[in-house]
Amino acid sequence: MSGVDTALERARAGLDRLRPEQAWAELASGALLVDTRTEAQRARQGNLPGALVIDRTVLEWRLDPTSEARIPEASGPGLRVIVICRQGYSSSFAAESLRRVGLRRATDVIGGVEAWVAAGLPVVQGSADVRE
């Protein structure tokens, strides 16, 4: 097993990863869905309704409730944050990192947006709620 595979296995060990349908249901119940895909990936695959787009390079600063650079939705350590990427790999690392900064309920979506689309969940074209 490669070093990155070992690290990914460790990151996922503490997550209660969600199927796309579960993530969609949690979004409807108030969870924060965070899309970390690039602009080019979103242009090809579409945007997810209700998701906030936050670049992976600033994710922890925008979501840490104690950060001066946080977004208004970063309300506290109990916030349910669901990270989604293209295939569900980098989102696992991102969710684990959010847990390390205190967001104990952070998780990600198994299979990413590719699984979201395969499950028939909604995707929209046009603008997204991008947070810089």
Question: Per-residue DSSP letters for 65-123?
Answer: TT-TT--TT---TT--EEEE-SSSSHHHHHHHHHHHTT-TT-EEBTTHHHHHHHTT---
CATH code of the domain covering residue 59: 3.40.250.10
Residue 53 tokens, joined: 């787009």
Q: Note the pLDDT of residue 3.
A: 96
> pLDDT tens, 62-91?
999 999 999 999 999 999 999 999 999 999
Q: Is residue 30 part of a domain?
A: yes
> pLDDT tens, 116-128?
999 999 999 989 9
Q: Note the pLDDT of residue 23.
A: 98
Q: Is residue 38 part of a domain?
A: yes
| Residues whose CB falls within 8 Å of the CB of residue 99, separated by 6 or more in sequence, listed in order | 14, 15, 106
What average pLDDT does the structure give for the chain? 97
Q: Note the pLDDT of residue 102.
A: 96
Cα–Cα distances in Å, from 37 out to 7, 104, 113? 21, 22, 9
Q: Note the pLDDT of residue 33.
A: 98
Our count of domains for the chain comes to: 1
Instruction: List the beta bridge partners of residue 47.
Output: 124
- What whole-number distance in Å separates Cα of residue 17 and Cα of residue 12? 8
Domain that holds residue 61: 3-127
Q: Is residue 132 part of a domain?
A: no
Instruction: List the beta bridge partners of residue 82.
Output: 33, 107
